[in-house]
């Protein structure tokens, strides 16, 4: 059994307060709280999101992630994103990738 790690400070909805506190062990633990077993496809999305955040200092909108996935997966990328994160891009992908909750977005 994997050891449970202490998570960095999170807000009342479970998002990291400070995205710089994120690392892959934190992602694994956040995924566990969402009942998601991370696969290479999950990590591809998460790493893209982290790179986008590093470059732009904001969370990537889902359309950018879908565009990234389309390069690998073709036209089924949108469906794949919601297969990977069935409770929504903001609710699960942003949380696991260590983003602050995007306030202007819906939870879908």
Which domains does the chain carry?
19-96 (1.10.10.370)
Q: What are phi and psi of 34, to 5 degrees?
A: -100, 5
Residue 3 CB partners (closer than 8 Å, separation 6+) = none
Segment 14-43 mean pLDDT: 96
Res 104 pLDDT > 70: no
Q: Per-residue pLDDT for 97 more than 50?
A: yes
Q: Where are the alpha helices (DSSP H) in 1-104?
A: 24-33, 40-56, 62-73, 77-84, 95-96
Residue 18 has pLDDT above 50, yes or no: yes
pLDDT per residue as tens digits for the range 52-84 = 999 999 999 999 999 999 999 999 999 999 999
């Amino acid at each position: 059994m994997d050891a449970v790690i202490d998570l960095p400070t999170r807000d009342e909805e479970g998002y990291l307060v400070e995205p710089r506190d994120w690392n892959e062990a934190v992602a694994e633990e956040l995924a566990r709280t969402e009942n998601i077993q991370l696969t290479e496809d999950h990590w591809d999305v998460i790493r893209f999101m982290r790179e986008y955040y590093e470059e732009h200092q904001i969370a990537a909108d889902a359309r950018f992630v879908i565009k990234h996935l389309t390069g690998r997966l073709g036209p089924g990328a949108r469906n794949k994103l919601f297969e990977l994160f069935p409770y929504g891009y903001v609710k699960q992908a942003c949380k696991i990738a260590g983003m602050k909750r995007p306030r202007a977005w819906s939870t879908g």
